[in-house]
Structure 1
Amino acid sequence: MKKTISFTYYLAIAGLFGLTALPALAEETGTDANEGHQAISTADTGAPLPASITTLLDQGLKFHGTFNAPGDIQGYALSYDNEPVAAYIPSTSDHAIIGTLIDPQGNAIMESQLQTLVLGPMLEATWSAFEDTRFISEGNDDASNVVYTLTDPNCPYCNALWKNSRPLIEQGELQLRHVLVGVLSEDSFRKAAAILESNDPTKALETHELNFRDGGIRPVMPSEESRALLTRHAKLMREAGATGTPTSYYRDGEGNVQRINGAVSTDRLHDILGIE
């Protein structure tokens, strides 16, 4: 199945450095047409980086490794604001080109290299961070799928995802782990604290979501513990590259962490998680 390649972060980079970029119209096939081009981690690269790449690093990008691209082009796996960015330098030039490399058929290539060097490690780090923090769990511990989701009490899309996840939770197929944040407003922060400080946070979250249209749970003045936890969760959210709520994380059939942006329907959850 084909999927459209997002060009949002390339546009952001283009704006940052005064470049002009057009949205990529290419689509990526299920397999990378250039899987043979090896990705090399940061630890394996001993040679100095080209001046054009170090300039990008000086302006806020991070370097993750290199990979060989077709046509004697050297690829550099970078990130900006926790989003993968590919830069390419032809052997005949010292200039770096930022964008999506496509083949003659219009297919995006080199995406698996970015996944290996940039996005994969970032998502694994996010998963580990969520495992180590306090979350509110819904569903059986032996559920076949675990999903972490960043939930703001005042987010209508979080409420939609909460509703759409009920059938899978009731079937025992899903354990949904809410990492509460209060990023939309001070009221969100206080409602998140109210849920965390209740005698039964899982029940408090359920009651809040069921009464979301009427304002949900009554906000409280956060305790020092709640304030510290919610501040930490906001930091985790930024480090994870999540730009809104809900942002959710799950492991695919191969055990790799993947990200879901926004609310998705019950049927779409079935498809994403591979539930029959």
Structure 2
Amino acid sequence: MGIRFVPSGKKILAGATIAASLSAIGIVAFADGSAGSQARPTSVDHVVYSRMVQKLSHGSLRLVDTFNGPDGLTGLVAETASGKGQKTLAWGLDGKLLIAGPVLDAQGQNLSLQAAKTHGLLPKPIAGGKLSRAMLDAPGFTVGSKGPLTAVFLDPNCIFCHKFWNEAYPLAKAGRIRVKVVPVGFLKPTSLSKAATILMQKDPATAWAQNEAKFDVATEEGGTVPAKTLDPKIVREIQANTQLLAQTGEVATPTIAACANPGEKTPQIFHGLAPDMLGSLAKGGSLLPSGNCS
């Protein structure tokens, strides 16, 4: 019987894809979860928010629909100007503010995720083999020289990624496992700049190890000090990695692609880290450049 892992922890932003052109201005909003008596957004609301979306995305997005949101918020559905690709969800407030991040109620429920499901905005998760191939081709670095190869999305400010690293790094140094790290940046305002700073180094693996060695568990902040000047190409690569993570159906870290069981041909995708998961993966198959399992 194949191994099934139940993740014990992960850091998550939202299940819906948030366009990079809007996420840069995103904040987390809190609501009590009640929709109140707000009427259906008017044509005036649509015009106002349409202008906001176009301006803030520099013309890369256009508004296609609006709907009632909790506590006076207006749900906004946008798509690329070309009409191709995944639609994205944002929120408007009083015709003056645009919120690209998730809206949480007092119980911590992700109302943005619920709205994305209701309005059919969640992308279909990419197949394990296709995702694994894309992760192996994505900008990043590999630690370890022997053992089965796995791939993982990590955010430099993620506490569960920190736990993953503390378990994986000794195994990689001991030659029991190889890990392709695909850096992403979404959890905190410094995540993108820290990930880019690490990937800009001549030895990103060592730079990431230093980030984890200086990780502040109390504040859940990686130890990397963002560079004053970031390479725009590297920043775009981190953003592309984060968009690839969204194609798994959940923007959560760590997200792992691995061949958990000997003999299986298609990699499994895991959101989060289960107890002794890495020890088990060290005994499993290895990812191939094709995205399949050895």
Which range, TM-score by smaller chain? 0.5 to 0.7
Question: Residue 82 of structure 1 aligns to which amino acid in structure 2?
Answer: K
Are the equivalent residues in 2 in contact too, given 1:161–1:264 (CA < 8 A)? no
Report the structure, 1 or 2, having the larger helix content: 1
- Counterpart in 1 of 2:136? 131
Structural mapping, 1:20-35, within 5 Å: none
CA displacement at 1:227 relative to structure 2 = 1.4
Q: Which has the higher contact order (CA 8 A, sep 6+)?
A: 2
Question: Residue 177 of structure 2 aligns to which amino acid in structure 1?
Answer: L
Q: Give the Cα separation in 2 of the matches to 1:168 and 1:5.
A: 21
Instruction: Choose which of 270, 280, 283 in structure 2 pairs with 1:260.
Output: 270
- Counterpart in 1 of 2:249? 241
Instruction: Give CA deviations for 1:147-195 in whole Å, capped at 9, x if unaligned.
Output: 1110100001000000011332133121111100011123000100110
CA gap of 1:222–1:5, structure 2 versus 1, over 3 A, is: closer
CA gap of 1:189–1:80, structure 2 versus 1, over 3 A, is: closer
Instruction: Give CA deviations for 1:61-108 in whole Å, capped at 9, x if unaligned.
Output: xxxxxxxxxxxxxxxxxx95325xxxxxxxxxxxxxxxxxxxxxxxxx
Q: Give the Cα separation in 2 of the matches to 1:192 and 1:172.
A: 25
Q: Does 1:218 align with 2:225?
A: yes
Q: Give the Cα separation in 2 of the matches to 1:81 and 1:272.
A: 28
Question: Residue 269 of structure 1 aligns to which amino acid in structure 2?
Answer: L
Q: Give the Cα separation in 2 of the matches to 1:4 and 1:166.
A: 20
Q: Does 1:144 align with 2:157?
A: no
- Counterpart in 2 of 1:82? 124
Question: Residue 150 of structure 1 aligns to which amino acid in structure 2?
Answer: F
CA gap of 1:139–1:189, structure 2 versus 1, over 3 A, is: same
Are the equivalent residues in 1 in contact too, given 2:172–2:178 (CA < 8 A)? yes
Q: What's the % identity of the aligned pairs? A: 25
CA gap of 1:261–1:273, structure 2 versus 1, over 3 A, is: farther
Instruction: Choose which of 179, 182, 198 in structure 1 pairs with 2:201.
Output: 198
Question: Residue 232 of structure 1 aligns to which amino acid in structure 2?
Answer: A
Q: Give the Cα separation in 2 of the matches to 1:127 and 1:268.
A: 18
Q: Does 1:157 align with 2:160?
A: yes
Q: Give the Cα separation in 2 of the matches to 1:147 and 1:241.
A: 19
Unaligned runs of 5+ in 2: 8-14, 16-85, 87-120, 285-294
CA gap of 1:202–1:272, structure 2 versus 1, over 3 A, is: closer
Are the equivalent residues in 2 in contact too, given 1:164–1:264 (CA < 8 A)? no
Question: Residue 225 of structure 1 aligns to which amino acid in structure 2?
Answer: K
CA gap of 1:215–1:135, structure 2 versus 1, over 3 A, is: closer
CA gap of 1:165–1:5, structure 2 versus 1, over 3 A, is: closer
- Counterpart in 2 of 1:270? 279
SS in 2 for 1:186: coil
CA gap of 1:124–1:210, structure 2 versus 1, over 3 A, is: same
Q: Give the Cα separation in 2 of the matches to 1:264 and 1:178.
A: 18
Bigger radius of gyration among the two: 1
Are the equivalent residues in 1 in contact too, given 2:152–2:181 (CA < 8 A)? yes
SS in 1 for 2:202: coil
CA displacement at 1:137 relative to structure 2 = 0.8
Instruction: Choose which of 148, 164, 188 in structure 2 pairs with 1:185.
Output: 188
TM-score under structure 1 length normalisation: 0.54
Unaligned runs of 5+ in 1: 7-11, 13-59, 61-78, 84-120
- Counterpart in 2 of 1:109? none
Instruction: Give CA deviations for 1:9-56 in whole Å, capped at 9, x if unaligned.
Output: xxx9xxxxxxxxxxxxxxxxxxxxxxxxxxxxxxxxxxxxxxxxxxxx
Question: Residue 219 of structure 1 aligns to which amino acid in structure 2?
Answer: P
